[in-house]
Chains A and B, each alone.
Chain A
Amino acid sequence: MSEPLLKVENLKKYYPIKGGIFGKVSETVRAVDGVSFTVNEGETLGIVGESGCGKSTTGRMIMRLIEPTEGSIQFEGKDILNISKSEMRKVRKDVQMIFQDPYASLNPRQTVGSIIEEPMIVHGLGDRKERRERVEELLELVGLSAYHAKRYPHQFSGGQRQRIGIARALAVRPKLIIADEPVSALDVSVQSQVLNLLQDLQKKFNLTYIFIAHDLSVVRHISNRVGVMYLGKIVEISDSESLYDNPKHPYTKALLSAVPIPDPDKTADRIILSGDVPSPAHPPAGCAFHDRCPVAMDICSKEKPVMKEMEDGRLVSCHLYD
């Protein structure tokens, strides 16, 4: 297979916390702690995990909305952490983001038309007339109508606002779209509409997605490959079929079994994890999951597991598979 579109290696984001009389760094929050993955053109990589696992921070670092502490991000072979400003502008056009809260991410005083037009102006695409035509085309593409361009965000429902957010992201014909919890604020009946739309658009424009979400069913539906994050690290990453049908990492197993299934006859044996996710400022020694892991061994509290490739090509970070 050809070069991946995006290659992330050993990405880290540490936040120092200052304390004491002289404000020295007393502890470090490891929001993202050495994440590596690749995304191929035209595929969807899902990233799942619970709140605070670092999935959103990872997405934002790829957009360089947050500067990484360490690591490299290669987009089309270029290390985007070490390129000139003008080259970065091009990358900014190729990588777009869709946010969770469609209302908060749309300026309430701008018309929908100018919201969608804005990225085109920023990147100097087309003249006024061409941009207006493109806005109308985009609105129809995402299932709205051309006349909606003159309205304001508050006149739309949650699902429609998310469609506007998608149209804005598509305006500059990006290659990669990072979708951070794009459907979690939506009702079930609207959620499925937006998911279908995202899939249709992907086929039409050969888009690549990084789909960040906490809802495992949604991620399975939309992703080709899935990475599971826990406390700033990816614990398991593989194609979605085998990850969901045969999870390897104990955390993935617990996470999957915790999802309530909308079928009263399927009361699966739930693995109920005890306690809460530890603070990323004080992750447990060894494997970060060992204090909640139902199958923890002695070694787990001493040594950090490393990512290993299984025979079927999946990557798992767990001492069970040493």
Chain B
Amino acid sequence: MLSYSVKRLLMLVPVLLGMTIIVFAIIHAIPGNPALTILGTKATPEAIHNLNQSLGLDQPLYVQYFTYLKNILSGHLGTSIQDNTSIASEIWPHLAATIELSFVAMVIAVVVGINAGIISAWKQNSVFDYAAMIIALIGVSMPIFWLGLLEQWAFSVKLNWLPSIGRTDIITTVQPITNLYLIDTLLEGQFAQFWMVVRHLILPAIALATIPTAIIARMTRSSMLEVLKSDYIRTAKAKGEHMFWIVYKYALKNAFIPILTVIGLQTGLLLGGAILTETIFGWPGIGLYVYNAIQYRDYPVIQSGILVISFIFVMVNFITDLLYGLFDPRIKYR
């Protein structure tokens, strides 16, 4: 297991290096002079020259890359063109917002998806099965922005049950400790604030959870159907075990590997790909951060945002790989 983890960790090195090269290349893939793009067409030659120098753009490409790599490794992600703030210190609060939202969304997706899938497989061809699978089909095909707008219209505008935008009320400021507000408000003992944060999370989390829930439900169903037909399930029945435990204990652990794969992939996608949901719900996460940067052509921010998102994606997959062994002892870590 340890040798496998080390091996897998070593394999991450070329992946991460490749990632930095691609991200580095982005700024050079923009047609024309980056400085010109940044400063606009009316910039003076002097200003362009100065910017080129300060960005190091007059150096040979490989020198630029190694400088860039050195900066990342020492935690310097550069400064934002838009407001001259340090990206490294700006990015965490945004990332935390995304992590909090994605986490809640994934909890919903896993709990609802797995249970729906299990019951569909257990009661195959029942009304529940058909209904769940039709809903799942709608779930994977539904555009998220549309669902988000529907939610806002129904639960905020019409019913006025839940807030439709932001992480908090405009008037409240949560004292940031970890920047994960669910934790911060509890640490501060601010239970009213905690409830307010929860209420803000519900609508975007449900919108974000829709696709993963549907995908997890479908994967769970097909994986469980396969397992429920197997000989060892028959053995468990022959022992006189109750069907509920056969399904939830014996079958689920076997069916879990493909489900885990899907959960891993979806988690990675949520953490990076929540731009749509975040813009609709005004959620100050990494998606919105990058989205705003794109509008201002704030290339250093875009670059760093993409780097962080891809880094998280790679790490989530790495963790998923390590988790396989927990569910299937046959997976040998060589």
Contact = CB atoms under 8 A, between A and B. Distances in A.
Interface of A: 18-21
Nearest to A19: B334
Contacts of B6: 21
Nearest to B334: A19
Contacts of B3: 20-21
Contacts of A18: 334
Nearest to B6: A21
Contacts of A19: 334
8 contacts: A18-B334, A19-B334, A20-B3, A20-B334, A21-B3, A21-B6, A21-B7, A21-B10
Contacts of A20: 3, 334
Interface string B1-39: 001001100100000000000000000000000000000
Contacts, number: 8
B119 to A, nearest CB: 34
Contacts of B334: 18-20
Interface of B: 3, 6-7, 10, 334
A18 B334 CA distance: 9
8 pairs of A and B residues whose beta carbons are closest in the complex: A21-B7, A19-B334, A21-B3, A21-B6, A20-B334, A20-B3, A21-B10, A18-B334
Contacts of B7: 21
Given A19-B334, A21-B10, 6 more contacts: A18-B334, A20-B3, A20-B334, A21-B3, A21-B6, A21-B7
B1 to A, nearest CB: 13
Most chain B beta-carbon neighbours within 10 Å: one of A18, A19, A21:
A21
Nearest to B3: A21
Nearest to A26: B334
Most chain A beta-carbon neighbours within 10 Å: one of B3, B6, B334:
B334
A20 B7 CA distance: 9
Contacts of A21: 3, 6-7, 10
A234 to B, nearest CB: 33
A19 B333 CA distance: 9
A18 B6 CA distance: 17
A21 B6 CA distance: 8
A20 B10 CA distance: 13
B306 to A, nearest CB: 31
A19 B3 CA distance: 10
Nearest to B10: A21
A202 B10 CA distance: 60
B287 to A, nearest CB: 38
B211 to A, nearest CB: 37
Nearest to B7: A21
A20 B334 CA distance: 6
B312 to A, nearest CB: 26
A251 B6 CA distance: 46
Nearest to A18: B334
B8 to A, nearest CB: 10
A21 B10 CA distance: 10
A6 B37 CA distance: 78
A19 B10 CA distance: 16
Contacts of B10: 21
A24 to B, nearest CB: 11
A284 B7 CA distance: 32
